[in-house]
Amino acid sequence: MKSVNPKSSKSYPLVSICIAAYNASLYIADAIDSLLSQSHHQIEIIVVNDGSTDETESILASFTDPRIKVYSIANIGQAAALNLAFSYASGDYVKFMDADDLISADFIALQLAQVMDYTDAIATAEWGRFYNDDLSTFKKSPESVWRHLKPIDWLIESLENGANMMQCALFLIPRNVLMRSGLWKAELTLANDIDFGIRLLLQASQVRFCPGAILYYRSGMPSLSAQKSEKAYRSAFKSISSGVEALLSFENSKRSRRVAANIYQLWAYEFYPAAPDLYLKAIQKVNELGGSALPYPAGGITKLLSQFLGWKLIKRIKNYL
């Protein structure tokens, strides 16, 4: 693809990229290199080293580009660290990123080209997964929402099956939209992107899709989303409850209630049997919202066995193993 020349724009907006890094020594250099390689050069990279105990701090210190600002603190958690990073941001546009994210070279330029003629539009992008740190395994994961949409329509369509991709690096956010939506809720750990993403998008006028802007999503490694502790599950329930409340406050319709029920149903499957009280609360929400036909998410042999043995038994066996 031909590079996008940022000098072709009438202005040169500063984009603030906010990163929380915790024990990210294996990946943080690659993430920053992908940002320094952007064809839009008017960026500032704000990294909060969130109490890392590995080599993250020394790796960050090895970068000399003046666009990089590093703040090392005692551990406060990902959401609070992202909020702290934003407190140092000066840009008219903001992007939050994980410390292991990689983006294509024209990512920011393409996103700016889509939103600069609007005062409160959010840009999104293509994405796909790669495995075992090997970019040759990358494959796009096309979604039906890869087009320009109103925010409520984007959310309804994206959340229709309970699961969606709201990874924060996908979005380029005008500062004024972020100030209206509010920042990350510091008390949330697991599934905090559901709460943040719904609140954020509903403050925009449009979600504009940017073909050619690609997020390379690293898979097959431990992450916050892989947490299974009771604290993490309670965070997830708070996050989905907050997100659903925001969604239904904006549009309380048959389609939005169906989507809300599907979100709770998906997490009910996840909560069982490790968090039985949260499972029951989620099912109660599903019933209050009119029910859900969302099937147990499984593939291959697990899907086959769950049809004969029931998904609850399968979950108990997997939990035991």
Tell me the per-residue pLDDT of 182-201, one tens digit each, with 9 for 90 and over: 999 999 999 999 999 999 99
The torsion angle over the Cα atoms of residues 177, 183, 189 and 192, rounded to 10 degrees, is -20
> With bands split at pLDDT 50, 70 and 90, how would you rate the model's confidence at 304?
confident
> With bands split at pLDDT 50, 70 and 90, how would you rate the model's confidence at 307?
confident
Q: List the beta strands (DSSP E) in 106-262.
A: 121-131, 134-140, 173-174, 206-219
For 45, list phi and psi in degrees, rounded to 5: -110, 115
User: Minimum mean pLDDT among 145-154, 291-300, 302-311: which range?
Assistant: 302-311
**C-alpha closest to that of 99 among 56, 42, 129:** 56
Instruction: Write down the pTM of the prediction.
Output: 0.91
> Is the predicted pLDDT of residue 222 greater than 60, yes or no?
no
For 122, list phi and psi in degrees, rounded to 5: -105, 135
Query: Strand pairing partners for 210?
Result: 125
Tell me the Cα Rg of the chain: 20
- Where residue 276 falls (left for φ over 0; alpha for ψ -120 to 50; beta otherwise) is alpha
Query: What is residue 7's predicted lDDT score, i.e. its pLDDT?
Result: 40
What integer is the mean pLDDT of 258-273?
Answer: 96
Chain segment 88-134, per-residue pLDDT in tens: 999 999 999 999 999 999 999 999 999 999 999 999 999 999 999 99
Query: What is residue 2's predicted lDDT score, i.e. its pLDDT?
Result: 34
> Is the predicted pLDDT of residue 303 greater than 60, yes or no?
yes
Query: What is residue 226's predicted lDDT score, i.e. its pLDDT?
Result: 52
> With bands split at pLDDT 50, 70 and 90, how would you rate the model's confidence at 317?
confident
> Is the predicted pLDDT of residue 294 greater than 70, yes or no?
yes
Tokens 């140092």 -> residue: 88
> Is the predicted pLDDT of residue 321 greater than 80, yes or no?
no
CB burial of residue 111 (10 Å; 0-12, 13-18, 19+): buried
Q: What is the 3-state secondary structure (H, E, C) of 75-137?
A: CCCHHHHHHHHHHCCCCCEEEEEECCCEECCCHHHHHHHHHCCCCCEEEEEEEEEEECCEEEE
Q: What is residue 1's three-state secondary structure?
A: coil
> Is the predicted pLDDT of residue 206 greater than 60, yes or no?
yes
User: Minimum mean pLDDT among 75-84, 93-102, 306-315: which range?
Assistant: 306-315
The torsion angle over the Cα atoms of residues 204, 209, 210 and 213, rounded to 10 degrees, is 90
> Is the predicted pLDDT of residue 11 greater than 90, yes or no?
no
Q: What is residue 75's three-state secondary structure?
A: coil
Q: How far is residue 221 CA from its own chain's centroid? A: 16
Q: Are strands 68-73 and 173-174 parallel, antiparallel or unpaired?
A: unpaired
Mean pLDDT of the residues in the chain:
93
User: Minimum mean pLDDT among 82-86, 159-163, 164-168, 265-269: which range?
Assistant: 159-163
> Is the predicted pLDDT of residue 247 greater than 80, yes or no?
yes
